[in-house]
Amino acid sequence: MSQLVVSKNPLIPLDEAVCLIKAGSVVAIPTETVYGLAADISQQSAVKQIFSLKGRPENHPLIIHISAITQLETYAIHIPDYVYLLANHFWPGPLTFVLYKSERVGDWVTGGQDTVGIRMPNHPTALALIERVGSPLAAPSANQFGKISPTHPEHVMAEFGDKVSILDGGMCDVGIESTIIDATCHDACTILRPGMVSKEAIQAVLRNNIAINAPGTQSRKVSGTLKSHYSPNKPAFLFEDINDFATIQDEHETTFGIYISPEYQSRFSQGVQLPNNPLEYAKIIYESLRLADQATTRAILIECPPKTKEWTAILDRLERSCAENHSQIDLIY
């Protein structure tokens, strides 16, 4: 892939990141999913900086990041037993639990809700930072609200220039945001946002002891679930076959293609072919969308991946990326 255009280098070492966050500043940090804008959750003014930098509504709750399973009981209450079962299996990793919050979590983190999303990231740099700061970190994606999430330090630089210091952890291994489950009920849980920890993987750990529900109309407000999200600046469209492709292509002078099938390579003036493997696809889809935004084309056409369980999380992100120009996909939970 070609290189993104970025501003001057604002990268900092771990020691400086620790000092900045303790002093009430916001630092962009790596996780295995995407880069996040991190602040100490106990410092209200620091957390408010996150909302200001992102242009994020303050009633949109933040996920907090911890460095040990034992910290769950400090920041959440009424924790079901199955949460520990899942945490011991998937943590550190891309799985977030929505739980009733303890008094240690301020309303400025939860958007006024009585619940909080908690996860333990699977990234050594992030874990070391949290441990040394001595407090959980709020760390939503390091981008403008509703736009494409960053998976590399250069993406953060492209978003904020030198306004935000960045702790460099390289390319993110997973590439899309965590699975979020509502774990406030003791005999069932609900998938609020799909991720690369699938329903099937969760069910394999819980066996048949706990029901796993798809999100309903009354689901709690959580990160990354607005109809339009993860959006490029250019119009983006999903196409499912050659006829669908031709109809959309005819409406735009030039298009950037993001596709799996090699047959589409010759049909775009610019584009990128992605792997026919959901794990590998997820790692580079946001980078591909950023490259498409920088291209000299007028629109982005994305070949719809297979509508199978393995692709549920990716289909969710693509549907939201193209929400302004595409009808809803029936996701498989």
In a domain, 65, yes or no: yes
Q: What is the pLDDT of residues 228-249, one digit of tens each?
A: 788 999 999 999 988 888 888 8
Coil, strand or helix at 97? strand
pLDDT at 209: 84
What b/e sequence results for 107-132 when a residue is b if at least 16 CB atoms lie within 10 Å of its CB, and e otherwise? ebbbbebebbbbbbbbbebbbebbee
Shared domain for 186 and 300, answered yes or no, is no
Type of residue at 219? S
Q: Does some domain include residue 331?
A: no
Which residues contribute to the annotated binding site? 33, 56, 65, 115, 119, 139, 141, 149, 178, 193, 230
Residue of higher predicted confidence among 325 and 94: 94
Structure tokens at 62: 């933040």
Q: Are 129 and 170 found together in one domain?
A: yes
Residues 25, 80, single domain; the answer is yes
Kindly state whether residues 101 and 250 are assigned to the same domain.
no
79 and 172 housed in the same domain: yes
Residue 45: Cβ within 10 Å count: 9
Q: Does residue 145 contact residue 54 with C-beta atoms inside 8 Å? A: yes
Q: Cα dist. 21→105, 263, 276 in Å?
A: 17, 49, 40
Contact 65, 121 (CB under 8 A): yes
Q: Is residue 1 part of a domain?
A: no
CB within 8 Å of 250: residues ≥ 6 apart: none
Residues 145 and 246 grouped into a single domain: no
Phi, psi for 252 (deg, rounded to 5): -135, 140
134: left (phi over 0), alpha (psi -120 to 50) or beta: left
Q: If pLDDT is split at 50, 70 and 90, which confidence band does 193 have?
A: very high
CATH of the domain at 28: 3.90.870.10
**Residues 303 and 239 sit within 8 Å (Cβ to Cβ):** yes
Mean pLDDT of 181-205: 96
Structure tokens, 108: 């400025």
**Annotated binding site for L-threonine: which residue ranges?**
33, 65, 119, 139, 178
Q: Are residues 55 and 140 in the same domain?
A: yes
Residue 165: is its pLDDT beyond 60?
yes
Same domain, 193 and 270: no
Number of domains in the chain: 2
Does one domain contain both 276 and 195?
Answer: no
3-class secondary-structure state, position 214: coil
What are 105-136's pLDDT values in tens digits? Answer: 999 999 999 999 999 999 999 999 999 999 99
In this structure, is residue 2 part of a structural domain? no
CATH number for the domain spanning 255: value is 3.40.50.11030
* Predicted pLDDT of residue 225: 65
Contact predicate 321/229, CB 8 Å: yes
pLDDT of residue 6: 40
Task: Give the confidence band of 3 by pLDDT, cuts at 50, 70, 90.
Answer: very low
Residue 94 in domain: yes
In whole angstroms, give the CA distance from residue 197 to residue 141. 18
Does 230 reside within a domain? no
The per-residue pLDDT for 1 is 46
So what's the pLDDT on residue 269? 85
Which residues on adjacent β-strands are paired with residue 166? Answer: 11, 28
Q: Is 0.75 topped by the overall pTM?
A: yes
What sign has the CA pseudo-torsion 61, 67, 69, 71? negative
Same domain, 17 and 166: yes
Alpha-carbon distance of 229 to 320, in angstroms, equals: 5
**Quick check: 9 pLDDT over 70?**
no
Same domain, 166 and 300: no
Residue ending a domain, choose from 213, 246, 278: 213
Identify which of 211, 201, 194, 174 has the alpha carbon closest to the alpha carbon of residue 331.
Answer: 194
Residue 26 confidence (pLDDT): 98
Structural domain that includes position 314 = 236-325
Higher-scoring residue by pLDDT: 24, 325: 24
Residues forming the annotated binding site for ATP? 56, 115, 141, 149, 193, 230
Does residue 206 form part of some domain? yes
Q: Same domain, yes or no, for 125 and 181?
A: yes
Q: Is 226 part of a structural domain of the chain?
A: no
Q: Which of 213, 228, 255 is the last residue of a domain?
A: 213
* Final residue of a structural domain among 166, 181, 213: 213
- The CA radius of gyration of the chain, in Å to the nearest whole number, is 20
Q: Kindly tell me if the per-residue pLDDT of 73 is higher than 90.
A: yes
Nearest to 240 by CA among 302, 289, 319: 302
Residue 72 in contact with residue 66, Cβ under 8 Å? yes
Using DSSP, state whether 64 is helix, strand or coil: strand
**Digit-coded pLDDT (tens) for 271-288:** 999 999 999 999 999 999
At 229 the pLDDT is 81
Tell me the residue ranges of DSSP E strands in 11-142: 11-12, 27-29, 36-40, 63-65, 76-77, 95-101, 115-119, 137-138
